[in-house]
Structure 1
């Protein structure tokens, strides 16, 4: 017979209509009948470094519409440990990205190989105050950075973009001419020594400039989506081109104590990174890889073939600006896929946008927060609460725990924290409530999960 003691676990539930509700009715059993899910507590997986999102110019612009008290509460909920999501690992663009106000780089003076005109002045308006506001709530915030495009004078087409707008889908003019269009599988960067040296130094100047402001960058990736010529800032590279850059970028970052990850990979082909790693001179500086979008098809192979490299999921697929429950359910599938295939960190994309989520280059995306430009109100979206279901209680250094189900349950992620507490995140995707029991070593938790819901259960250390 099962013997029960009073529940000592914490349980939060999110449904479409009621986010992050504290629930009762959870049982922690000392002896159990047959469970639905067995956690393999003696077989811990990869260490989890954290969860986060990206600092973008349009994100700060939306938050500036809030009054100071509202903005404080939003950032506290996002970043303060033990309060809300507790985000601890975030991305910073090096120059303009697709959610900047406009194109810019830190040095648009042609031929300035000495970087005498280098300046991060524009970042003082947006990115710097955004990051500092987050640091005020999360002093241990870890940051990594990547460019979307080098300065235009370092590129073969002399332009920040690589593709022309598509009529009917994106009609925002970027000024690109037909003869400037980039092609996947080519290098849009000028692969000559003076340019490679100057670009590596450009990264170094960025690191130094931010460090002087009290914003340390722990890691860089050479290029966002290096296979994709886009209507917004972008630059294609071949594996050979990136390998050449690494021979210059490596020493610049090494002398500053900054790591280099390969990425971001947005194609389902692990060989694109494998070919770079095959070049020993640059690969010696690489400590991890960044994977996003269709890179999900390569993440399992990367984890298996390169087990010594850490893996960051660098940008969750961004949605369409509707911020609906449908996309939150899809996002859960992405989280399970990346984390079950070796990811050490998981990052959302836009922190905050105006309602509709429209970028400078004409497309719309989701965000963790939306701001109404009419009445200057805000709301946390479904995907924010989903991210919170993992980030609120999964501590840096937690280990993913593999699971086995006797009854077909496969909608859970389980983590063991460094303090020996256990976090169970589980979805009930059915239209009816369902009972579930999960065996954690010699303890079993049982609960009735509401219909179409996400749950987080925090079980203290034995």
Structure 2
């Protein structure tokens, strides 16, 4: 089946996985390639959609059309096995924070719609399919707040700062891609629900740190119920929530210390509250680093919750960040709890670590292939858009972070695409929501890693990373009639989609 690739994309431009680094190498942002080439009026045709991003910037989500070819005897053959199945994938995408929305809303309507289509449209854009939002404020909101800052859960209401500053962007995203899945995470409970870390029953009046007072577990469960309900009444279906962003981090501008003992007790209130309200939103635990921030007694955080049957029945799975430790920790979690889901929910780039060449490759290997090869169901990164000053941001939060896309604060028009944009695009474009990871085996080479998927429309996807200094050839074999060969450039990501539905 021949297809035509939509060149609007040009505006934006193995199981051999090692544990790998959990963040990209140190460097500066001077190495960031410019955005990809302009639109090509001549359509690209072929049997296979191919997208390539190279660390040297020579190819940035570059589109190619390939024809099927005979590869059955190739020494580079990788056989796709749809009969061997693993996890179902929910999707890939960025955090849509107050800061992201502020920058988007400074753009002209035409420019904003164009960039959102480039990111979220599954046909003409990259097809981002999963987003994360903060429940109440965060270190990238426009203020510190929750949805119930007046004492008494009866005063719950999503504030105007979100209805005016976030809802318009969410509505436009959902108009572009109605199948977007949304995950919500709180950075803090209302301050009137907080106690000190040492004594949660003792009032604690600060956005930073503190601990949820058990006397307010019922109220806080109702807080989640009302948030999900109000979001859905406004047209934003909530696919999943985590109970606390970075529960072992007491020092963020908005934060709440929530050790596993607290989450275990709280979910026994939250789960029944969701069921009583008829809410089927998934509940995820943890939402923090692979190394548990080296906090004494917090190792195996999710497993401690799963060990309690009453708590475990309400928890769909766990969520992970990569600011400490190794992705190999997911092997431990998967082995101990194969029935529980795994999501990667946050990674950042910024002045402390950013170098396009190393970030685009290392993060793709560790975060994307590393998570997916360990039964992960989705990858979310932090944030979609910040300006050239890393703003807006909150005092005490991250003031040195970069967005996946950077916008100029001088004109709110000029854009620069960072490594996280390309990493997300390379997966989201070919692996559609509901895809199932399938078998892929055969040719191996140093620096080459790959995974394969079957999409709901019957098309197949193959994502490969060549981190070596030389090019690598792969011959992808599904059957005698659906096979192709491609030479992946040095230090590059290559993604492919073919078969039924691939013309979309």
Q: Structure 2 length as normaliser, TM-score?
A: 0.79
* Map of 1:150 onto structure 2: 189
Unaligned ranges ≥5, structure 2:
1-44, 196-203, 293-298
The answer for the alignment partner of 2:296 in structure 1 is none
Match 1:60 to one of 75, 88, 101: 101
The change in CA–CA distance for 1:283 and 1:434 in structure 2 (over 3 A counts) is closer
Q: Is the 8 A contact 1:120 1:209 kept in 2?
A: no
Once superposed, what is the RMSD of the aligned Cα atoms?
A: 2.4
1:278 corresponds in structure 2 to: 307
CA contact (8 A) 1:32 1:444 kept: no
How far 1:351 sits from its partner (Å)?
0.8
From 197, 206, 213, the counterpart of 1:190: 213
The correspondence for 2:417, drawn from 365, 368, 380, is 380
- What corresponds to 2:470 in structure 1? 432
8 Å contact kept, 2:283–2:317: yes
User: Mind listing any 5+ residue stretches in structure 1 that lack a counterpart?
Assistant: 1-5, 163-181, 183-187
Q: Give the match for residue 256 of structure 1.
A: 278
Alignment deviations for residues 93-123 of structure 1 (CA, whole Å, 9 cap, x no partner): 11111111221112222xx234336443221
CA contact (8 A) 1:96 1:103 kept: yes
Partner of 1:18, secondary structure, is coil
Within-5 A mapping of 1:371-450: 371-376=407-412, 377-408=414-445, 410-442=448-480, 443-450=482-489
**SS of structure 1 residue aligned to 2:316:** strand
Q: Distance in 1 between matches of 2:240 and 2:420?
A: 26
- 2:332 matches 1:301: yes
Instruction: Describe the shift of the 1:429–1:151 C-alpha distance in structure 2 as closer, same or farther (beyond 3 A).
Output: same
Q: Secondary structure at the match of 1:32?
A: coil
Equivalent residue number for residue 173 of structure 1? none
Give runs of ≥4 in structure 1 deviating > 4 Å. 24-27
1:125 to 164, 175, 179: 164
Provide the C-alpha distance between the structure 2 equivalents of 1:24 and 1:40, rounded to a whole number of angstroms: 23
Aligned-pair CA distance for 1:461:
4.7
Cα drift, residue 29 of structure 1: 1.6
Among residues 322, 333, 356, which one is paired with 1:324 in the alignment?
A: 356
Which residue in 1 is equivalent to 2:253? 232
**C-alpha contact (below 8 Å) 1:394/1:417 kept by paired residues:** yes
Say whether 1:242 aligns with 2:281: no
User: Counterpart of 1:115 in 2: which secondary structure?
Assistant: helix
User: 1:117 and 1:47 mapped to 2: Cα distance?
Assistant: 35
Instruction: Tell me how far 1:137 sits from its aligned partner.
Output: 0.4
Q: Which moved more, 1:23-32 or 1:89-98?
A: 23-32
Structure-to-structure mapping, 1:74-93, within 5 angstroms? 74-93=115-134
Contact 2:443 2:474 in 1 (8 A): no
Report the secondary structure of 1:431's partner residue: coil
Local SS of the residue matching 1:331: helix
Deviation at 1:375, TM superposition (A): 2.7
In 1, Cα distance between equivalents of 2:138 and 2:436 = 33
Distance 1:64 1:398 in 2: 33
Cα offset, 1:284, TM superposition: 1.7
Does 293-302 or 145-154 show the bigger shift? 293-302
TM-score where L is the length of structure 1: 0.86
CA 1:26–1:316 in 2, change beyond 3 Å: closer, same or farther? farther
Q: Deviations over 1:31-51 (max 9, x none)?
A: 333335344443121111111
Kindly indicate whether the alpha-carbon contact (under 8 Å) linking 1:226 and 1:235 is maintained by their aligned counterparts in 2: yes
Q: Deviations over 1:304-334 (max 9, x none)?
A: 2222222211113444385723211121112
Number of equivalenced pairs: 429
Distance 2:315 2:72 in 1: 47
